[in-house]
Amino acid sequence: MALTLGEQLDEVQLAISQALKAQSYQNGDKQISRAALSRLEDREQRLQAEISVHGRNYIPGQNTTPKKAFANVIFS
Protein backbone atom coordinates (compact mmCIF):
# COMPACT_ATOMS: atom_id res chain seq x y z
CA MET A 1 0.00 0.00 0.00
CA ALA A 2 1.31 3.44 -0.93
CA LEU A 3 1.87 5.90 1.89
CA THR A 4 0.65 9.48 1.96
CA LEU A 5 3.22 12.26 2.22
CA GLY A 6 2.15 12.74 5.85
CA GLU A 7 2.69 9.07 6.67
CA GLN A 8 6.10 9.19 4.99
CA LEU A 9 7.01 12.27 7.01
CA ASP A 10 5.90 10.56 10.23
CA GLU A 11 8.16 7.59 9.44
CA VAL A 12 11.14 9.82 8.63
CA GLN A 13 10.67 11.79 11.85
CA LEU A 14 10.51 8.54 13.85
CA ALA A 15 13.70 7.34 12.13
CA ILE A 16 15.39 10.66 12.98
CA SER A 17 14.36 10.25 16.61
CA GLN A 18 15.73 6.70 16.68
CA ALA A 19 18.95 7.75 14.93
CA LEU A 20 19.51 10.45 17.54
CA LYS A 21 19.25 7.83 20.30
CA ALA A 22 21.59 5.28 18.70
CA GLN A 23 23.14 4.99 15.25
CA SER A 24 23.50 1.19 15.46
CA TYR A 25 22.37 -1.61 17.69
CA GLN A 26 22.75 -5.35 18.15
CA ASN A 27 19.84 -7.76 17.72
CA GLY A 28 21.04 -11.21 18.66
CA ASP A 29 24.02 -11.88 16.41
CA LYS A 30 23.08 -9.18 13.88
CA GLN A 31 24.51 -5.64 13.88
CA ILE A 32 21.95 -3.16 12.51
CA SER A 33 22.86 0.40 11.44
CA ARG A 34 20.37 3.21 10.99
CA ALA A 35 20.26 5.58 8.03
CA ALA A 36 22.60 8.56 8.13
CA LEU A 37 21.01 11.43 10.04
CA SER A 38 21.83 13.97 7.33
CA ARG A 39 20.03 11.89 4.69
CA LEU A 40 16.97 11.58 6.93
CA GLU A 41 16.93 15.33 7.55
CA ASP A 42 17.19 16.00 3.80
CA ARG A 43 14.25 13.66 3.17
CA GLU A 44 12.28 15.34 5.96
CA GLN A 45 12.78 18.76 4.33
CA ARG A 46 11.75 17.43 0.88
CA LEU A 47 8.60 15.85 2.32
CA GLN A 48 7.70 19.05 4.20
CA ALA A 49 8.07 21.03 0.95
CA GLU A 50 5.86 18.54 -0.92
CA ILE A 51 3.27 18.64 1.88
CA SER A 52 3.14 22.43 1.68
CA VAL A 53 2.11 22.06 -1.99
CA HIS A 54 -0.01 18.90 -2.00
CA GLY A 55 -1.14 18.40 1.63
CA ARG A 56 -0.45 15.51 4.05
CA ASN A 57 -2.94 13.14 2.39
CA TYR A 58 -1.40 13.30 -1.09
CA ILE A 59 -0.16 9.94 -2.39
CA PRO A 60 2.61 10.38 -4.98
CA GLY A 61 1.80 8.59 -8.22
CA GLN A 62 -1.86 8.07 -7.31
CA ASN A 63 -3.33 11.53 -6.77
CA THR A 64 -3.30 13.64 -9.91
CA THR A 65 -4.06 17.15 -8.66
CA PRO A 66 -2.19 19.00 -5.92
CA LYS A 67 -4.47 20.04 -3.07
CA LYS A 68 -3.73 23.77 -3.38
CA ALA A 69 -4.28 23.87 -7.15
CA PHE A 70 -7.96 24.62 -6.57
CA ALA A 71 -7.20 27.73 -4.52
CA ASN A 72 -5.97 29.54 -7.66
CA VAL A 73 -8.97 28.69 -9.85
CA ILE A 74 -11.17 31.64 -10.73
CA PHE A 75 -14.80 30.88 -11.51
CA SER A 76 -16.70 33.28 -13.76
pLDDT higher than 70, residue 48: yes
Residue 16 lies in a domain: yes
pLDDT at 67: 53
C-alpha span between 41 and 16 (Å, rounded): 7
Do 54 and 71 form a contact (C-beta atoms < 8 A)? no
CA distance 22 to 48: 24
What is the extent of the structural domain holding 22? 5-56
Percent residues over pLDDT 90 in the chain: 43
Is 50 part of a structural domain of the chain? Answer: yes
Is 62 domain-assigned?
Answer: no
* pLDDT for the residue numbered 2: 87
pLDDT above 90: residue 10: yes
In a domain, 66, yes or no: no
Burial code (b: 16+ CB inside 10 Å, e: under 16) for 47-62 equals beebbeebeeebeeee
Domain count, the chain: 1
Q: What is the pTM of this model?
A: 0.65
The mean pLDDT value for 18-29 works out to: 80
